[in-house]
A and B are shown apart, each in its own frame.
Chain A
Amino acid sequence: QKEVEQNSGPLSVPEGAIASLNCTYSDRGSQSFFWYRQYSGKSPELIMSIYSNGDKEDGRFTAQLNKASQYVSLLIRDSQPSDSATYLCAVNGEGSSNTGKLIFGQGTTLQVKP
């Protein structure tokens, strides 16, 4: 059973701080990794994708991937109250790279306090 694990939180950070969200996955053959943001009652919104080891930066967001440790993280710099949401880690597995089947984690709830 392929699994994606996240700490459900809540993770509480003050406004302006760095929020660090973590995710581990079980399928060593996974090739594609995604972070989605989901506001309560809304659909997942794609924030970042990462496919190779290392860091990928996009504005205030940095995704980090370490395939050897089967670990992917998301850093949010200068956190804003509007960043308060649930962050979903999603992974596609070996054999699913061309079908788009994603396995989602439970999500980490982030609370940014003004």
Chain B
Amino acid sequence: EPEVTQTPSHQVTQMGQEVILRCVPISNHLYFYWYRQILGQKVEFLVSFYNNEISEKSEIFDDQFSVERPDGSNFTLKIRSTKLEDSAMYFCASSQWGGELFFGEGSRLTVL
């Protein structure tokens, strides 16, 4: 069964460092997303991406965040200068038509 894959599964970084989280969405999906979940809290929307551009973003997704689809398969989330409060599980998701979302296993980011 096709699945969304994410790397790394866990990243530890120092505050102020740049982090790139990578995702390979399901191959015939057209919509791509990043969500995050701080430990014990709700899953929160960060950004949606369609047709090589951001279609919607949340207030969380400020200038420190960026997304890119550098080739036909990868979808990346970059955090330019990490803060302690960026520590969370980051989930990539994809969707064929913008409806049902399928999530990857997540990348746990720990900022020290």
Contact = CB atoms under 8 A, between A and B. Distances in A.
Contacts of A96: 56
A24 B33 CA distance: 24
A28 to B, nearest CB: 19
A46 B94 CA distance: 12
A49 interface: yes
A103 B45 contact: yes
A43 B104 contact: yes
A84 to B, nearest CB: 18
A104 B95 CA distance: 17
B19 interface: no
Nearest to A48: B100
B91 interface: yes
Contact of A42 (B42, B45, B99, B105): B105
Given A49-B100, A98-B98, A99-B56, A43 B45 contact: no
A106 interface: yes
Interface in B16-38: 31, 33, 35
B103 A45 contact: yes
A99 B47 CA distance: 9
Given A43-B91, A43-B105, A104-B44, A49 B55 contact: no
Interface residues of B, number: 25
A105 B41 CA distance: 9
Given A32-B99, A42-B105, A101 B91 contact: no
B56 to A, nearest CB: 4
B48 interface: yes
Interface in B88-109: 91, 93, 95, 98-106
Contacts of A100: 31, 33, 48, 93, 95, 98-99, 101
Nearest to A34: B100
B12 interface: no
Given A43-B105, A49-B100, A98-B55, 14 more contacts: A34-B101, A42-B106, A43-B103, A44-B91, A96-B56, A97-B98, A99-B48, A99-B50, A99-B56, A101-B45, A101-B56, A101-B58, A103-B45, A107-B42
